[in-house]
Amino acid sequence: MNMPNILTLIRLLLIPLFLLVFFSNAEHSLILSIVIFIISGITDILDGYLARKHNLITKLGTVLDPLADKLMLLTVLISLTIKKVIPNCVPIIILIKESIMIMGGILLYKKNTVIPSNIFGKLSTFFFYIAIVTLCFHRIMGIYMLYCCVISSIIAFISYVQNYIKFKKQKK
């Protein structure tokens, strides 16, 4: 297993740690959980950089990396909803979108087809990280940013569907 995939696995392991800290009664649990979330974001950037720079892109990594992103993001959004920090509609919309993406990714993977992430998906993930960190320090601004993220996420989804359609046409 190469370093980018190890970083992705670390990101997956940060999910239960985030939950444990976020829902604990520990002093500064919100700040600590945000630090875990930021570390997750850093590992995401780092694994992609290393994979591209050193030509370590693997089929496993192209599937695990976006899966880790989706699971971490959904974990954080659902956790924030449980604590009534954000409206229910945000994680519901993202959960529907990401569930479709995950199921589609699994089906494509079984057919030995991988559609890599695109700029819209990467930007959407980046904006979610910024919005969630902002939310911890300025709630109203963070919520507005989350709504913008939902819109950018929908645009990313449409872009993925368009890329899939192009891919299917080229394969014929």
Domains of the chain plus CATH, in order, are 3-171 (1.20.120.1760)
Distance separating alpha carbons of residues 33 and 68, to the nearest angstrom: 17
Categorise residue 113: left if φ over 0, alpha if ψ from -120 to 50, beta otherwise.
Answer: beta
pTM value?
A: 0.87
Q: Find the farthest-apart pair of alpha carbons in the chain and give their distance in angstroms, rounded.
A: 58
Q: Model confidence over 99-147: pLDDT tens digits?
A: 888 788 778 778 777 666 778 878 888 899 999 999 988 999 999 999 9
Q: What is the pLDDT of residues 38-56, one digit of tens each?
A: 999 999 999 989 999 999 9
List CB contacts of 148: < 8 A, sequence separation 6 or more. Answer: 127, 131
Q: Tokens 């002093």, residue?
A: 27
**Tokens of residue 79, six digits:** 């956790």
